[in-house]
Structure 1
């Protein structure tokens, strides 16, 4: 499989975690989002993903899947070994709720396209930083109240953790203070010692600048 990715893209990061947890080998194809002109806007990449974003996954059969949520759902159904969701239906819903809260309510509001739009409307970097911090803290307040007191988000590692760790990486990159979230920080400390999360981390990617 080919994964079109960018080292610090949070949505790419979550797909890399899912792949690593399932022990799946992939060929990483770096797509630089910040190089002048943007590799994601080039015709060759737009032919793969017309939205011009990462990640995109080309399967062994040649099918292309875009959007991290769809990719992770595909991986979960196609490769059920090391499931990311438990058997219990309410427990599965709890994992999905955290994933949706992060993937739909937090991450899109600090996506580079949104931040550039704020800048284009005349907001300075102080305004942009305040915007990012507000929405990450708002979402983390809900995640902190929702997850459990032991282990990963809900005990064993699963879908919620796949979404949470990249969002924590983004929060730290944007200098968001996280002291108010001890449960979330507990999950982060556990995940950073886990081999799959280490493999998927932005610092471990070949396209990370020196």
Structure 2
């Protein structure tokens, strides 16, 4: 398999973590979002949405959208399970995962921030304030949704909710969100990064890591 990703992309981080947890081998193909690689014709042929990640299977099938990819990966390689089989628990886990994937991430990604700057004249500080506002809003919701305790989001092993949270917290650190207000969220990231498979998926460990990169989430 080939995983087209960008090192700082939190959606790519989710998929790297899932593939690593499953023990699946893949070739990483960098897509530099800042340089505009996602708009190259050969990449658009794989991913019409001009985003990352894209997972290309052995038979050449290209799959996109991180949440759909997580479902595919979990259904195809069910151990360790990332999405619970129990219907009630699955609904609770997916609600947390979707709070990150549908409420927090979309209003903080590269395309939207670019529009705030170019169309509406937002300054870099205003763009950062925007991102931090929506992360604070989303993390407050997560704190209310997550059970108390000293383990992962919903059990003794990480699942799709933990993966989504951990990837989003990377951005929170990057933009200066104070996590002392969100102890459950911070605990989940800490536990996840103690797992080598997830730590190895962290943006800072990726071969295309560019510390001079501008905004790209």
Smaller-chain TM-score bracket: over 0.9
Q: TM-score, normalised by structure 2?
A: 0.93
State how 1:24-173 maps to structure 2 within 5 Å: 24-35=24-35, 38-120=36-118, 121-148=120-147, 149-155=149-155, 156-173=157-174
CA RMSD of aligned residues (A): 1.1
Residues 57-82 of structure 1, C-alpha deviations (whole Å, 9 max, x = no match): 00112111011011111111111121
Q: Structure 2: any 5+ residue segments left out of the alignment?
A: 212-217
Alpha-carbon shift at residue 178 of structure 1 (Å): 1.3
Aligned residues: 208
Residues 123-179 of structure 1, C-alpha deviations (whole Å, 9 max, x = no match): 212221111111000000011111122211112211101100010001111111111
Instruction: Find the counterpart in structure 1 of residue 207 from structure 2.
Output: 206
Aligned residue for 1:183, secondary structure, equals helix
Q: TM-score, normalised by structure 1?
A: 0.96
Q: Structure 1: any 5+ residue segments left out of the alignment?
A: none
What is the distance in 1 between the residues matched to 2:92 and 2:202?
24
Residues 6-37 of structure 1, C-alpha deviations (whole Å, 9 max, x = no match): 101000000111111111110100111112xx
Aligned residue for 1:207, secondary structure, equals coil
What is the distance in 2 between the residues matched to 1:118 and 1:106?
16
What is the distance in 1 between the residues matched to 2:18 and 2:88?
21
What is the distance in 1 between the residues matched to 2:200 and 2:128?
29
Instruction: Find the counterpart in structure 2 of residue 194 from structure 1.
Output: 195
What is the distance in 1 between the residues matched to 2:194 and 2:29?
26
Alpha-carbon shift at residue 52 of structure 1 (Å): 1.1
